[in-house]
Amino acid sequence: MAELQRIVEFTAAYDKRNPDPTKNYGAHGVNMRLVLKGPRGAVQFVLFTNWQLPHIAKEWENKPRSLTQPLPADVGYHSPEPLWEGQEVQAENCDYLDGKSCYYDGSGLAANDAFAVLVERGSAGIWGYLEDYYHRTFEDSPDDAARVPDGGR
């Protein structure tokens, strides 16, 4: 099999709050996206770190801890072809598929398992988890397609 490419992206935090509700886009912390890209598609793990801009972090000092902790957001795949009947194109020009159309599906619940692997086993664990997910999604039998791995353990 061809080598799998590891991509790590961090999206900056923002403060787009506005008193005018039609212009209020809220505030959000740094997002971390880990993508494992191969010849058949790509898989990803997204974590909302909740690392806020300094002025927002100060505002939120007394917020409940659950609002300031990392939030596992998504484990999913980007495929150049549908992996289940009726699946529709999600993007016409996918960065992870070299500009091809993208059939995407993901799971917020599976992100909890991926986060546990990251916390318990670090980078080796999470990349192993994503590699297992890649193989299950793009190389196993159709009955197993896109099945989220068992925590990569």
| Averaged pLDDT of the chain | 90
Q: Is residue 46 part of a domain?
A: yes
Indicate the pLDDT class of residue 64, thresholds 50, 70 and 90. Answer: confident
Q: Is residue 92 part of a domain?
A: yes
- The total number of structural domains that make up the chain: 1
Contact indicator for 75, 44 with CB cutoff of 8 Å: yes
**CB-based contacts of 9, cutoff 8 Å, min separation 6:** 31, 32, 33, 35
Query: Does the pLDDT of residue 62 top 60, yes or no?
Result: yes
Quick one: average pLDDT of 111-119?
98
Residues of the chain above pLDDT 70, percent: 90
Query: Does the pLDDT of residue 126 top 90, yes or no?
Result: yes
Q: Is residue 152 part of a domain?
A: no
Of the given ranges (18-27, 63-72, 136-145), which has the lowest mean pLDDT? 136-145
Q: Is residue 23 part of a domain?
A: yes
Enter the tokens of residue 92.
């016409």
pTM for the model: 0.86
Q: Domain residues for 106?
A: 5-144
Residue predicted with more confidence, 149 or 32: 32
Q: Is residue 153 part of a domain?
A: no
Quick one: average pLDDT of 34-52?
97
Q: Is residue 138 part of a domain?
A: yes
pLDDT for the residue numbered 28? 94
β-strands 26-28, 41-48: how paired? unpaired
Cα gap 28→26, rounded to integer Å: 7
Quick one: average pLDDT of 123-152?
76
Contact indicator for 94, 44 with CB cutoff of 8 Å: no
